[in-house]
Structure 1
Amino acid sequence: MKDFNKYTSHINFAPIIDFALKQGKPVTYKKGEYFVRQGEICRTIGFVTSGSLRYCCTNSLGEVKIVGYTFEESFVGNYPAIQLQDRSNVDIQALCDCTVYELTHQQVNEFYEANVEHQRLGRHIAETLLWEVYDRMISMYSLTPEERYLEILNRCPSLLKLITLKELASYLLIRPETLSRIRKRVVRRQ
């Protein structure tokens, strides 16, 4: 599911992937286990070699909202929180059994401080993550729910094999009933 998080196609992650696979600690998460809990200090980021994880937050009404996903062959973690050594504002939970090569804050910073190219990569990662968040925010204002649904399915046609419709509705910031009506309209037009 390489195209789910758009930023992954804009960066050559090879140096930090290689570092994570050589220096990271392989950790297995069973379905339902947490990589980090909302409110906990973020201590690690990781490279997912198998499985997928979801990012959720609990709102003031106690409702769990899906805010993101990460899939095999990509990174997992709350990057701003680990860099600031702050509390996570999301839960990151395994959707299935996963293997993650984890790096500590210190290891990530040692990687960045190793040379100028690694420093540039770190800056590029931060800038691209900011772009992704900003792009997603703008799409919430500029695209209809149906356009957001079609855009994500065009980008990731096999997404619904990995997540439920209820989760997709939460990610798109719409109610499941709204997603059901959108899907019916799309099917009728085809």
Structure 2
Amino acid sequence: MAESFNSYKSQVNLTALIELCEREGKTVVYEKDEYLHHQGDIERHISLVKSGYCRYTCLKSDGDEAVVGLAMAGEFVTDFNNGVRKIPALASQVASVRTEVLQLPFEYALEGLCQSEPNFLYTASDALFRMCYTRLLELYVLSPTERYCKFAASYPDIVSKIKLKELASYLQISPQHLLRIKKSQELRAKNS
């Protein structure tokens, strides 16, 4: 089985948070390109993605959007570390397609989790750090093709649906380069 793209999920017991969202979360639908949260704002919600997917974005110096992360169905979208510290978010959260989430107030969800799992903050922060550090190192040691293959292995059902421009931005390559990689991988799969 492929390693999960958002590997924090396998390192943190999220059962209580998932159950809390399913029991008490407010269903909110975000249309394509609608913001769940803006860069520079303090996080107010924890959202469990039920359908669709979201992208984490930052603005580059030229004003273009850089995709720095993704949250798929069954995953959480929130600025966890900055939300805990109550400081402005470094990234925006944007619905890439029509996306339905179950949403809870950030502080309420965190308070409930910390009562049921006293080490949750440490465990979650550590898991997120390890995931981000691994991704940073992979930018240096994996080729764009290897990064694409890792993403494709983690999300085989999504890789054909995700917007090419978003995935290329996340992989830090041009859309044309990503097209060449995809064609090469399809050819390799045909010849296997």
Q: Show the counterpart of 1:78.
A: 79
Q: Show the counterpart of 1:21.
A: 22
Pairing of 1:44-123 with structure 2 (within 5 A)? 44-115=45-116, 118-123=117-122
- SS in structure 2 of the partner of residue 114 of structure 1: helix
Structure 1 residues 51 and 187: alpha-carbon distance in aligned structure 2, compared to 1, 3 A threshold? closer
Q: CA deviation at 1:125?
A: 1.5
- SS in structure 2 of the partner of residue 61 of structure 1: coil
Query: Which stretch of the first structure deviates more once superposed, 26-35 or 70-79?
Result: 26-35
- After TM superposition, the score normalised by the length of structure 2 is 0.87
Structure 1 residues 188 and 114: alpha-carbon distance in aligned structure 2, compared to 1, 3 A threshold? closer
- After TM superposition, the score normalised by the length of structure 1 is 0.88
**CA–CA distance in 2 between the matches of 1:109 and 1:152?**
29
8 Å contact from structure 2 (residues 16, 113) kept in 1: no
Q: CA deviation at 1:175?
A: 1.3
Structure 1 residues 112 and 158: alpha-carbon distance in aligned structure 2, compared to 1, 3 A threshold? closer
8 Å contact from structure 1 (residues 51, 71) kept in 2: yes
**CA–CA distance in 1 between the matches of 2:99 and 2:30?**
5
Query: Which stretch of the first structure deviates more once superposed, 180-189 or 149-158?
Result: 180-189
Q: Structure 2 stretches of 5 or more lacking a match? A: none
- SS in structure 2 of the partner of residue 168 of structure 1: helix
8 Å contact from structure 2 (residues 30, 98) kept in 1: yes
**CA–CA distance in 1 between the matches of 2:118 and 2:161?**
35
**CA–CA distance in 2 between the matches of 1:55 and 1:45?**
14
Q: CA deviation at 1:87?
A: 1.5
Q: Show the counterpart of 1:133.
A: 132
Number of equivalent positions:
187
Structure 1 residues 184 and 114: alpha-carbon distance in aligned structure 2, compared to 1, 3 A threshold? closer
- Could you tell me the percent identity over the aligned residues? 32
8 Å contact from structure 2 (residues 60, 66) kept in 1: yes
Query: Which stretch of the first structure deviates more once superposed, 150-159 or 30-39?
Result: 150-159
**1:25 is aligned with what amino acid?**
K
Q: Structure 1 stretches of 5 or more lacking a match? A: none
**CA–CA distance in 1 between the matches of 2:161 and 2:183?**
21
8 Å contact from structure 1 (residues 45, 103) kept in 2: yes
Structure 1 residues 184 and 23: alpha-carbon distance in aligned structure 2, compared to 1, 3 A threshold? closer
RMSD in angstroms over aligned alpha carbons?
2.0
CA offset digits 1:69-124 (Å, max 9, x no partner): 11111111111121111212112111222222222232033213424xx1223321
Q: CA deviation at 1:188?
A: 4.1
Pairing of 1:136-147 with structure 2 (within 5 A)? 136-147=135-146
Q: Show the counterpart of 1:4.
A: 5
